[in-house]
Amino acid sequence: MATVTDRLPQNLTGRYYVDSTCIDCDQCRALAPEFFGRHEESGLSYMLRQPESADEIARVEEVLATCATGSIGNDGEV
């Protein structure tokens, strides 16, 4: 499970984030490229954009649930 204290600094401010346990598998970027980017220097994913609508939130939650390393987190704040 992702830890907010290990949140990568590249993440856009908001409730969703990727932490330092990311292994650059590309799954989140393949499933939701409009929300996840890849930091070229570290090779790790980060939140490029926070979801806004209920449909977007559901999509990010689905990607969060399928993350092989549990590196995507939701800190619960809106």
In the predicted model, what is the mean pLDDT of residues 47-54? 97
Q: CA end-to-end span of the chain, whole Å?
A: 19
**Would you tell me which CATH number, out of the four given (3.30.70.20, 3.20.20.70, 1.10.10.10, 3.40.50.9100), belongs to the domain 4-74?**
3.30.70.20
Amino acid 11: pLDDT: 97
| pLDDT score of 76 | 76
Rounded to 5 degrees, φ, ψ at 18 are -115, 140
Region 63-75: mean pLDDT is 96
In angstroms, the CA 54 to CA 69 distance is: 25
What are 7-35's pLDDT values in tens digits? 999 999 999 999 999 999 999 999 999 99
Q: What is the pTM of this model?
A: 0.93
pLDDT at residue 5 greater than cutoff 90? yes
**If you write DSSP's letter for every residue of 4-70 in order, what string do you get?**
GGGB-TTSPSSSEEEBTT-----HHHHH-TTTEEE-TTT--EEESS---SHHHHHHHHHHHHH-TT-
